[in-house]
Amino acid sequence: MMTDHKQTTKQASGQQDVKVERITAADRISGDEGIEEERKIRPACFADYPGQERAKHNLQTYVQAARMRNQVLDHVILHGPPGLGKTTIGQIIANEMGLPFVATNAATIEKQGDLVGILASLERRTTIFVDEIHRLPRAVEESLYTAMEEFILDLVVGEGKSARPLKMPIAEFTLVGATTRISLLSKPLLSRFGIQERLDYYTVAELEQIIKRAASVLKIPCSACGIAIIAQRARGTPRIANRLLRRVWDFAVVAGRTSIDAEVAKFAADKLEVDTLGLDNTDRQIMGLIAERYQGGPVGIEALAATLGEDRRTLEEVYEPYLVYKGLVSRSARGRILTAAGQAHLQRSCVS
């Protein structure tokens, strides 16, 4: 029988409140493990990468063809919800090509000089991974065009009357861009990616494979039933699955268990307030508001955001995608609507 171990934390006098990050967040959160542990559980080749079969097969084909022709791989754009493995696929592409890999975030490339510093130092045929590529400033984006097409940087040297154009050759490279909001990419930039692949949420069976592999690498003993419960509540997202695995193992260790079984997995998930669909309190609050205050909808996104005290973009980018994917909430021209499946899940949650 599991015992409820409670821990209270007191704030020091004058200390500011800290916003609690969601255990079900698809983006990285401060409680996630360090780079070394992530590197351990990250697949290094397509053969070890479960799921994303369509995109994976296509990318394997393109990589193999580039190797057979001894040519640089076309630029690749990977898009879809966060936490699905875009960075991992970028690393795998470099590994399968047998070439160097460099990773950066578009938020760190603020001006043309930042881009020049990165591209000018690349080894030949390096795979450069740019996360959140939709955040590139327009001036930087325009500098990428000739770099991607001709492997030349168009620069302006000097200032005023002494300024002169300069074409600077750079090494061939493959740009792998990742974005959760492909609609924000300009058409000229998007057109320069010869390979465009969307990543979708994972099935429970695929997440079970991912959790089983991670548990083996991290030496966490797990039963098949324990793995299945974690996979079911991981919102179709490997990053969340791996995070839940570590947190459930914390509960197991404190309870004196030597492995994760169904009982400890369910107990931990309940304490984390993550239900059988992977929804947390905020998800259920959103659905409850639509059901009760707005009679099931439709309700405009602005009204919903104001009622919840959340930013509209946060609702649209963080909470809504999974609720819509699971068919619990639907979008219409008039606003958000709680579906019959959403109503049924809310009723089950109230009963349990």
Q: Which residues are catalytic?
A: 86-87, 131, 180, 239
At 321 the three-state DSSP class reads helix
Burial class (CB in 10 A: 0-12, 13-18, 19+), 279: buried
CB burial string 123-143: b at 16+ within 10 A, e below = eebbbbbbbbbbbbeeebbeb
Task: Record the tokens describing residue 315, joined without a space.
Answer: 């609702």
Pure H helices in 51-103: 53-69, 86-97
Read off the DSSP letter of residue 77.
E
